[in-house]
A and B are shown apart, each in its own frame.
Chain A
Amino acid sequence: MRFEHEFSVDAPAERVWSFLMDVPQMAGCIPGASGVTEVDDSTYDATVTAKIGPISAKFGCRIAILNLDNVAHTGSVEVSGKDTKLGGGVKAKMEMSLTGNETGPTTVRILSDVDIMGKIGQYGHGMITKRADAMLVDFANCVRTKLSAVS
């Protein structure tokens, strides 16, 4: 599944960028994420819980930051997670880019490519797409709120 999200943050590009590339901070905006631990300076582990109806999936995830360009403010985040109990998994690659200037506002663009594997897929493309999209929207709203709050 592919998604394109674009949102505006009332903050300068530099601050938005350092927030997004600070995984423990940024993970605070991923719906259902907890227990973020550093593996090395571009790799982290976390647990992400997602619920559809009565079914909860708990993914043990590895998060990797790749292709970081701190000047152009582009980079990609790769998440690969497994739910061993339900026998499912998720692979997501998010390309992030910023446009904006010293003073802000900054436009954040996230292109996501998400694959769901295993039993969770039985819910059907329509439902999973809707839910994944909703999670990305929540992420965007959280980033915007956190960065606009402290000025």
Chain B
Amino acid sequence: MVDFETNDEPQGADYLAPTSIDQALALLSEHGDDAKIIAGGQSLLVFLRQGLLEPRALIGLKRIPELIRIEESADGGLTIGAMVTQYTLEHSALIRERYPALSEAAAVVSSPPIRRQSTIGGNLSHGDPTGDPPAALIALGAEVEIASLTGRRRIPVEELFADYMETHLETGELLVAVHLPARANNSGSAYLKHRIRAVDTALVGVGVGLTLSEDRTTCIDARIGLVGAGVTPIRAVNAEAVLRGNQITNDTIEAAATAASEECEPLADTEGSEWYRREMVAVFVRRAAGIALSRAKGTN
């Protein structure tokens, strides 16, 4: 039993530790809404301690080997298990080389002790629109793999999020992996985070991925992910369209930055007004696009 301190009498939950995905899915199905999945616990424990959630069972994923693998996939991309920590992503030489936006995003999640526990799957499943990894993963064209008793499915990261802290994960479903596509030639990515204190979530976070033509004159693909700019992480498709198929100049980057600031719908709160977040989206799209561009050209 695990006890949580709340304002009322202590509530407890059974901690279950399946050793395979199938076992975890069976437990999920058995307990339904009475159970919560616990990955790194960095988001869940906050809710539990405040008494905002009272599950009867916690399904811990730490003993499932398949979930902590990082493997090259058949198409030349990368498969990252859901339980891989931000710390691992931050320090992976391979990820830093091929998918720098992801290592940069992982490196700015909260603080080092939290990065040791926080997992990529937990972060995505929590659906916080101010977390860092979603923007980077959207910029990298990543997909999530979701398992259930009826099989597996894959969807682009940007389609995972339904509403504020709500994903499209159905009851009985488990996010098991993130898939990154093969890194294209002449491509580069970057993630930049705007926040006042180092340990906070993003006021605004921008991930940009750019792919250039062979002669490096034209942008053949652009992907832009934003956090802190809406009730969910979002993909700035209008801003992408400004870049895609065109030469990338200061003017096109400026136009893309403006487009991103106009298509997002930031929430206002004590950290920043809607107006301020829109301004910062433009600033950081401009900066991140510049870094992604120089990486794509190989001049970084």
Residues on A facing B (Cβ under 8 Å): 52-55, 85-87, 119, 123-127, 130-131
* The 3 A-B residue pairs with the shortest CB-CB distance in the complex, in nearest-first order: A53-B165, A126-B267, A124-B269
Chain B, interface size category, equals: 20 to 34
Contact B52 A86 (CB under 8 A): yes
- Known pairs A87-B7, A124-B267, A125-B269; A52 contacts B51 (CB<8 A): no
B231 at the interface (CB under 8 A from A): yes
B268 at the interface (CB under 8 A from A): yes
Q: How far is the CA of A123 from the CA of B47 in the complex (A)?
A: 12
Q: Mark B82-108, 1 if CB is under 8 A from A, else 0.
A: 000000000000000000000000000
Q: How far is the CA of A54 from the CA of B53 in the complex (A)?
A: 8
- Known pairs A52-B165, A53-B127; A85 contacts B51 (CB<8 A): yes
Contact B268 A119 (CB under 8 A): no
- Known pairs A53-B165, A54-B165, A87-B7; A126 contacts B274 (CB<8 A): yes
Q: How far is the CA of A70 from the CA of B165 in the complex (A)?
A: 43
Query: For B53, what are the chain A residues with a Cβ–Cβ distance below 8 Å?
Result: 54-55
Q: How far is the CA of A32 from the CA of B267 in the complex (A)?
A: 24
Contact A127 B8 (CB under 8 A): no
Q: How far is the CA of A130 from the CA of B265 in the complex (A)?
A: 11
A87 CB, nearest partner CB in chain B, Å: 6
**Closest partner residue, chain A, to B128 (CB atom):** A53
**Residue in A53, A87, A127 whose beta carbon sits within 8 Å of that of B267 in the complex:** A127
Q: Mark B35-65, 1 if CB is under 8 A from A, else 0.
A: 0000000000001001111000000000000
Contact B269 A53 (CB under 8 A): no
**Closest partner residue, chain B, to A84 (CB atom):** B8
B166 at the interface (CB under 8 A from A): yes
Q: Mark B104-138, 1 if CB is under 8 A from A, else 0.
A: 00000000000000000000000100000000000
Contact A124 B270 (CB under 8 A): yes
Query: For B270, what are the chain A residues with a Cβ–Cβ distance below 8 Å?
Result: 124-125
B281 CB, nearest partner CB in chain A, Å: 15
Q: Mark B62-83, 1 if CB is under 8 A from A, else 0.
A: 0000000000000000000000
B265 CB, nearest partner CB in chain A, Å: 9
Q: How far is the CA of A10 from the CA of B163 in the complex (A)?
A: 32
Contact A126 B269 (CB under 8 A): yes
Q: How far is the CA of A117 from the CA of B117 in the complex (A)?
A: 32
Q: Mark B157-168, 1 if CB is under 8 A from A, else 0.
A: 000000111100
7 A-B residue pairs with CB within 8 Å: A52-B165, A53-B165, A55-B165, A85-B51, A119-B52, A125-B270, A130-B231
**Residue in B7, B50, B166, B267 whose beta carbon sits within 8 Å of that of A130 in the complex:** B267
Contact B47 A54 (CB under 8 A): yes
- Interface positions, chain B 151-185, Cβ under 8 Å from A, are 163-166
Contact B164 A53 (CB under 8 A): yes
B28 CB, nearest partner CB in chain A, Å: 15
Interface centre among B163, B266, B274 (most CB of A within 10 A): B163
Q: How far is the CA of A124 from the CA of B51 in the complex (A)?
A: 18
Q: How far is the CA of A131 from the CA of B164 in the complex (A)?
A: 10
**Residue in A54, A85, A123, A131 whose beta carbon sits within 8 Å of that of B8 in the complex:** A85
**Closest partner residue, chain A, to B268 (CB atom):** A126
